[in-house]
Amino acid sequence: MTPPTDEQLYERARRGDVAAFDQLYARWERRLFGFVLRLLHDRSSAEEVFHDAFIEVLEGPRLSFAQASFSAWLFRVARNACANRLRSNARKSAALQLWPAAEPSPTPEQSLTESERASRLAESVRRLPHALAELFHLRASGLSYEEISTVLGVPLGTVKSRLHTLVHQLKGDLP
């Protein structure tokens, strides 16, 4: 028996099926929370935004899956919630703390381990323009090009073009 689709679980959860809600939550918790955390860089804020976005999708206006998949809607709502949080934080704070301080570069004596490469990649992503960093995080969260197009509200060709630019910028930045 094939597992239910996200869309089927969504419909069941909207009708009050707690088990369907739990399944849907479990499927998307790690990827969506990771995406939100990478955009906000603050665990407490990310937990709030993640929870609010998930509830908004399930309790807000009924979604139309003719326009986009459940995951595309979920990530779009989360992205908008992150943008709202960042704008709110910017208004509250004179010093914008959108990106954490850069981690120090590894010393020449250290061997290039996987964690060091990941650290360098993370630093390179932090230096990207916000739109490209967001695109990186959406793709790293496992969304398809079509889903990213829906989340960002741009044509598929624009997503592909920006991904091409993203790859070239990262290649130029990483040794």
157 has a pLDDT exceeding 60: yes
Residue ranges matching CATH 1.10.10.10 in the chain: 99-175
Please give the average per-residue pLDDT across 60-79, as a whole number.
Answer: 90
pLDDT of residue 70: 93
Architecture of domain 1-96: Orthogonal Bundle (1.10)
Q: So what's the pLDDT on residue 110?
A: 53
**For residue 107, how far is the Cα from the chain centroid?**
31
What per-residue confidence (pLDDT) applies to 98? Answer: 44
Q: Which is more confidently placed, 100 or 31? A: 31
CATH fold group of domain 99-175: Arc Repressor Mutant, subunit A (1.10.10)
pTM above 0.85, yes or no: no
Give ranges for CATH 1.10.1740.10 in the chain. Answer: 1-96
